Amino acid sequence: AQSVTQLGSHVSVSEGALVLLRCNYSSSVPPYLFWYVQYPNQGLQLLLKYTSAATLVKGINGFEAEFKKSETTFHLTKPSAHMSDAAEYFCAVSQGSGYSTLTFGKGTMLLVSP
Amino acid sequence: DVKVTQSSRYLVKRTGEKVFLECVQDMDHENMFWYRQDPGLGLRLIYFSYDVKMKEKGDIPEGYSVSREKKERFSLILESASTNQTSMYLCASRPRLAGVEQFFGPGTRLTVL
């Protein structure tokens, strides 16, 4: 069984401030972890993924995430927020096999103010 | 680039109508998925398919069925649409390889009146 909890349905930051979006997961096997971003009226776009290689993963648009096995977390960060980062972000977990499905968190809406 | 297309961006139907949502991918992916997305609930898996003519129930299959007659096409069917099926529907595909992400279409926003 697997599950994802995203802490905070909404996160507000000022432009230039640190972005931190939290993701806690549970998985009965070593997980594969993903962060997706969704802009208004669009589908989901992959930001980054962890697939058991380096624990610090760099993604697109300056985002990165760190896999912490002992804490079962995969938090998403960006050093300096930009107005264009305003979107909804989803954390997801899978068991990684070719037949596995994704389990998504409920999403975190990131609001960026000038 | 992987491309997943959905037949409509916006759709308005009446209660009781039969509704077809079509999804096509152009990357020869084995696996395809249908989700619905509702505010505060995230994405919930309706059905998925590992291969042609194969289907598996996801977390919320009630009121839906699917069809996969060709590898590139995965259809979601609402046999008799109801107002509680008003939602955003997202299709995704991925190859049957470990650790590869899902690729999403743009979504269909369905309103049932």
CA distance B56 to B51: 10
- Which amino acid is it at A49? K
Q: Pick from B40, B95, B104: which is nearest to A43 by CB?
A: B104
Contact A106 B42 (CB under 8 A): yes
Q: What is the pLDDT of residues A24-64, one digit of tens each?
A: 999 878 889 999 999 988 899 999 999 877 889 999 999 99
pLDDT digits (tens, 9 = 90+) for A59-111: 999 999 999 999 999 999 999 999 999 999 999 999 877 778 899 999 999 99
- Measured CB to CB, residues of chain B less than 8 Å from chain A are 4, 9, 30-31, 33, 40-45, 48, 50, 58, 90, 92, 95-99, 101-107, 109
Tokens representing B69 are 């007659």
For B27: left if phi > 0, alpha if psi spans -120 to 50, otherwise beta; the answer is alpha
pLDDT of the residue at A52: 78
Distance from CA of B49 to the nearest CA of A (A): 9
The interface residues of chain A toward chain B in range 9-28, judged by CB-CB distance below 8 A, are 9
Q: Which residue has the tokens 């993903």?
A: A34
Euclidean distance between CA atoms A88 and B84, whole angstroms: 23
Predicted local confidence at residue A67, as pLDDT: 94
